[in-house]
Structures are given as C-alpha cells and as structure tokens.
Structure 1
Amino acid sequence: MIGGMDHPHLPTTEAAVTALRETAREFHLEIEVTHDIGADQTSRRTTAGVGVTTDPDGSLPHEAYVELGGSPRISVRLFPEDDALITVEGVEFHDIPRDEVPVFLRSCYGGLAYVHGKRFPPGYRLVVPLPGDRTYKEFLPMINLTRWLSGRVR
C-alpha cells in the first residue's frame, strides 16, 4: 500500500481517469485529460472502417491521454483493453495494467522510483516498485538522464 490506498479495480477508462485526478490532487499536480471515444478515434483501432465508431460487440471504445504537471514529467495513455502506456521523463512503460496506474504514479511522485546503474555492461534502468514486491523496470540510455532521473541514481 502506497499513500494509504491499495489499487482498486478500474473497470473503465473513465474510472481510471477519476483515479488519476485523485492522485493528482493528492500530490498537488496539474492534470490535463484528452478523451478519444469511438473505434474510429482510438489509437489501437486503426482497422476500423470510415465512420465506424463501435466495436463488433456494439460498445464504444474509450481511450484517454493524461498529462500530469510537476516532477517527474509523466503522461499516461489509457487504452480500452484495460492497459496503459506510462511515460516517465521520456522512459516508456508499456502494457501496465490499468488497475496499477494510480499506484505506479504514487511510487514515482512519492519518491520510491529510482534509477539503477550498472558499469558493465554500461546502462541504466528506471525501477518503479509497487506493493507486493512487484516492480517495473525499463532500460534508458545514459544520454537520456534528465535532472529528475539523475537525482535518483543508486
């Protein structure tokens, strides 16, 4: 549990956006949200025909792009398929389950995320620990170390 909250089940993109708004309030961050609704608007539905807005099951897919102010710079693309792409200071974390997005952000804004460096082979990884001994790690080239990332090297 980070920040006093475990991660709830977020059944819809709108529920996830609401949870991200609460996280932004918790850390006093500005938040900007853009919604894309309909199969012809969402990024993973490029095969939808012209004017086709629903999925084959009749539902309207809903995707949202969220930008959070503050440090670190984080953006989140919430996909209709219950996953997200989170970008932290230019480092992309793909296929994060939508339910884990708020706790992922709390780890970053709460000071738990860190950069692990290795001398051989040389390289860095951004490590984001979550409750239950789960971690997400992504490689980042040394040249991409921003001020925030450099301040978290261990």
Structure 2
Amino acid sequence: MERAHLPTTESAVVAIRDLAVEFGVSMTVTDDIGADQTSRRTSAELFAVCDPDGSLPHEAFVDLAGSPSVSVRLFPEDDARITVDGVEFHDVPQDSVPGFLRSIYGGLARTKGRLFPPGQWLIVPLPGDETYKELIVDSNLTPWLARSAR
C-alpha cells in the first residue's frame, strides 16, 4: 500500500479528520499560523508572520477523544509528534500519520515487555516495513496499553 503525500499541514488535518470519522472518534483542532505563533519559530521577530523565505508556517494540534488518548502536533517542517496514552513518538513524517493512527485504532499497535533491557515498549507497525517503537516511561500502564500487551 503506497502512502499518499500530504504536502501541507491542512491536508494532514483533513486525513486525520477522515480517519476520526471512519473510527467514530471525535476530535478538536487548534491551528497556529504565522512565524510568531508556531512552536519551532521562537526566534522569529515580534509580529513576524512569514518566514525569511516568505512562506507562512502552519502548525496544528489535533486532540482525538476516547481510549487511547491520542494527540498529534503537526509541524510546518512536514513532521509530527504523536502522543498515545502518554507515550511520545517524535519526528514522525506527516505522510506516516494516517497509517500510524490506522494502526492504533485498527488494533495493530501492541505493547511488549523485555527483561533486558528492562521496560515496556509501545510498538506501532505501519504498512510496508515501517515500525515505530517507543519506551513506555510510566510503569503504570493505562488500561488501553495493558490490553495491547502481546
């Protein structure tokens, strides 16, 4: 299955909205538009709306209700930070966000414990050979993370 290229933050939000409808999950979106508003442009001059190259950066925060708790911060640099029940996945390409969420809501994501190195991991497989894996820092697993253990 080939991934669709999501050229803008807005197209990524539309793709997430389509998945939310498909899986019956409600969502809220907060948009930050302009160099003085986006989180990675803290060095922008006061009231500077455009980047030095004239582009208008657009960042969005998407909060998906339900279990698991999922939030997605889409950055203007075509990457995202996805948080699933407190587990943060940094630098996920925007093109991978729909597949990532489909894996979460479709039941493909799982937790796995290891003795060495010790810890619990949240593993999110995507179509193809792409897999994301993050250490679960909190030793108290949420009900969704505990149910996802394999």
Q: Quick check: TM above 0.5?
A: yes
1:153 is the counterpart of 2:149:
yes
For residue 10 of structure 1, what is the amino acid of its counterpart?
L
Segments of structure 2 that go 5 or more residues without pairing to the other structure are none
For residue 41 of structure 1, what is the amino acid of its counterpart?
Q
Equivalent position to 1:100, from 96, 101, 105:
96
Equivalent position to 1:85, from 76, 81, 90:
81
| 1: CA distance, partners of 2:36 / 2:123 | 35
Q: Indicate conservation of the 8 Å contact 2:87/2:137, yes or no.
A: no
Distance change (3 Å), C-alpha of 1:144 and 1:85: farther
Across the two proteins, how many residue pairs are aligned to each other? 150
Segments of structure 1 that go 5 or more residues without pairing to the other structure are none
Q: Indicate conservation of the 8 Å contact 1:123/1:142, yes or no.
A: no
For residue 67 of structure 1, what is the amino acid of its counterpart?
D
| 2: CA distance, partners of 1:67 / 1:29 | 10
In the TM superposition, what are the counterparts of 1:98-137 in structure 2 within 5 Å? 98-137=94-133
What is the match of residue 45 of structure 1? 41
Q: Tell me the TM-score normalised to structure 1 length.
A: 0.94
Q: Tell me the TM-score normalised to structure 2 length.
A: 0.96
Identical-pair percentage: 65
| 1: CA distance, partners of 2:140 / 2:81 | 19
Q: CA RMSD in A?
A: 1.1
What is the match of residue 18 of structure 1? 14
1:91-127 deviations in Å (ceiling 9; x for gaps): 0000000011011000000000000101233201100
What is the match of residue 59 of structure 1? 55
What is the match of residue 68 of structure 1? 64
Q: Indicate conservation of the 8 Å contact 1:71/1:109, yes or no.
A: no
The SS at the match of 1:85 is: strand
Q: Indicate conservation of the 8 Å contact 1:24/1:31, yes or no.
A: yes
| 1: CA distance, partners of 2:74 / 2:101 | 13
| 1: CA distance, partners of 2:64 / 2:140 | 20
